[in-house]
Structure 1
Amino acid sequence: MSTFFLAVGLVLVVEGLAYALAPSFIRRMAEQLPRLGDEHLRLFGVVALALGVGAVYLARHL
């Protein structure tokens, strides 16, 4: 359970950094999201998922 809370905490840190360091970039990205098709959003989601799984695998095995 502590690993779960660690993961949630790290996600919040990364999200917080994005909003703190580049709020105008985040706002522009949010405005463009409705213009993207479902295929592109799904592809971005799969890529993010794969990168996340790879990062977790590396973190656990290094």
Structure 2
Amino acid sequence: MSDLVAGLGVALVLEGLLWALAPDLARRIVAQIAGLANSRIQMAAVVAVAFGVLLVWLVRG
């Protein structure tokens, strides 16, 4: 359980860095994503989840 909480903390730090360091860029990225088709967003999300699972699997063995 502590690994899950630590992982969520790292995710929040990484997400927050973009907004803290470059809020205008973050707004442009969000606007571009809003213009994409749902199928493209879903495919990117599936790829991100798969990559995350693979990364955890490789690191944690």
Classify the TM-score, shorter chain. 0.7 to 0.9
> Aligned-pair RMSD on alpha carbons?
1.3
Per-residue deviation at 1:33?
A: 2.3
CA distance in 2, matches of 1:43, 1:16: 24
Q: Percent identity of the aligned residues?
A: 41
Give the TM-score normalised by structure 1.
Answer: 0.83
Structure 2: give runs of 5+ residues left out of the alignment.
Answer: none
Tell me which residue corresponds to 1:52: 52
| Mapping of residues 1-62 of structure 1, within 5 Å | 1-61=1-61
CA distance in 2, matches of 1:44, 1:57: 20
Give the TM-score normalised by structure 2.
Answer: 0.84
Structure 1: give runs of 5+ residues left out of the alignment.
Answer: none
